[in-house]
Amino acid sequence: MSTNQALFERAQRVIPGGVNSPVRAFRAVGGTPRFITRAQGAYLWDAEEKRYTDYIGSWGPMILGHGHPAVLDAVQRAAAEGLSFGAPTEREIELAEAILAQVPSMEQLRLVSSGTEAGMSALRLARGATGRSKIVKFEGCYHGHADALLVKAGSGLATFGHPTSAGVPPEVAQHTIVLPYNDVAALEAAFDAHSRQLACVMIEPIAGNMNFVRAGVPFMKRLRELCSRDGTLLVFDEVMTGFRVALGGAQAVYRGLIPGFQPDMSVFGKVIGGGMPLAAFGGKKDVMSQLAPLGPVYQAGTLSGNPVATACGLATLREIARPDFFEALAQRTRALVQGLSAAAREADVPFCGDSEGGMFGFFFARALPQDYGAVMATDKERFNRFFHAMLDRGVYLAPALYEAGFVSAAHTEADIDATVASAREAFA
Ligand SMILES: *Cc1c(COP(=O)(O)O)cnc(C)c1O
């Protein structure tokens, strides 16, 4: 049996940092990443056969838990029929129909293979459709690692303290305006300064790459008004929140708070692929028809709409569309956050948390942060100690305080209770 440490050393010889995505490396919290050998339901097992209750869920996609029988069956059948055709299939239509049925702001979508690709394509389309270059994004929001969006992003970058990435030419980044999240005055100033020059505003409506921060309702309302006034496309990055915080995504949550609310374009990933590489971007027909082969905006992909990935996504969406699915998931997620908060209170540890649907966040702070600066000001040292105390007790939380957490349908009340009991020991 290889140990996690032996595997990590071997990995570092052939893969930079030993990982294929930076935050997996545990650099923020220190220690050795766990090399996972298998997963079932709410649990992961590492190379040393230690079991963990999984609150990462592959960073969001595994909303049904691992190894759901209907999903595995769909994937196995699809694989037997062919891994990739590079030609259209009926299943792509079915998946597009299933997504569009839950997202009334979109009339059409295109399937791609990753959230990064979807965000990058949405951005190009927004620029092509408006004939404008400038874009707005918010500090602490992550939209994948396309050059123009890798400007003061959160997630792994925040972890490593890089304000931006090397290798992004200033000429590319200069069209990206970065504003503080939830700051109405800064938003108004940016729209005034760049009147009718902004192609789009891209936002995580509930930000999950600076832990868990909601866009306030007055902020979202004003954002919608300014975009409509100036002909700027409002792009919701729902790669994390889509089919996760509610069946209709974060936009359904905001539609409940702001009557008639709709973004102009949306980006999805993670849950819609159910654990396979699949993502999508979409909007109204007039914008989407600017894409090749109909229009002048080029976008393509060898594996886009892959038959196995679409089967996995479809099976996942079918399961989560069952009545009461989200109510039950939200209830368990709330129970987790309330349990952790109560345990922290008993130990007199400053702590607060929030959740929506099956997505949650918590902070070692007295009040919920409203922007990236406030997230950065929470107690990182305490978070790191808590992370390791929980990991030792078999609870797998995101290895950085800038990440949201996820509960799946496979997590039982007993799992939540056991996690809260572990947290009680950790806080003490
Ligand atoms: C994960 C994520 C992305 C990037 O998706 P990948 O599939 O990792 O490329 C983009 N935006 C948000 C909000 C995300 O959470």
The pair of structure tokens assigned to 331 is 């209830």
Taking Cα atoms as reference points, which of 134, 174, 108, 122 lies closest to residue 297?
122
pTM of the model: 0.96
pLDDT at 171: 83
Specify whether 142 is catalytic.
yes
Q: Check whether 163 has a pLDDT greater than 70.
A: no
**Which neighbouring-strand residues pair with 291?**
297
* pLDDT above 90 for 326: yes
Q: Of 137, 270, 371, 402, which residue is the catalytic one? A: 270
Q: What is the mean pLDDT of residues 187-191?
A: 94
Pairing of strands 359-363, 352-356: antiparallel
DSSP conformation letters of 144-203: -S-GGG-BS--HHHHHTT-SB-TT--HHHHTTEEEE-TT-HHHHHHHHHHTTTTEEEEEE
Domain boundaries, the chain: 69-320
Name 274's bridge partners.
Answer: 276
Give the tokens for residue 36. 């996972």
Tell me the pLDDT tens digit for each residue of 340-355: 999 999 999 999 999 9
Residue 128 in contact with ligand 1 by CB distance below 6 A: no
CATH match for 69-320 among 3.40.640.10, 3.40.50.300, 3.90.1150.10, 3.30.1200.10: 3.40.640.10
- What are 363-409's pLDDT values in tens digits? 999 999 999 999 999 999 999 999 999 999 999 999 999 999 999 99
**CA 385, 389, 392, 397: dihedral to nearest 10 degrees?**
-80
Catalytic-role residue among 46, 54, 237, 371: 237
Q: Is 241 in the pocket of ligand 1 (CB under 6 A)?
A: no
**Per-residue pLDDT at 165:** 84
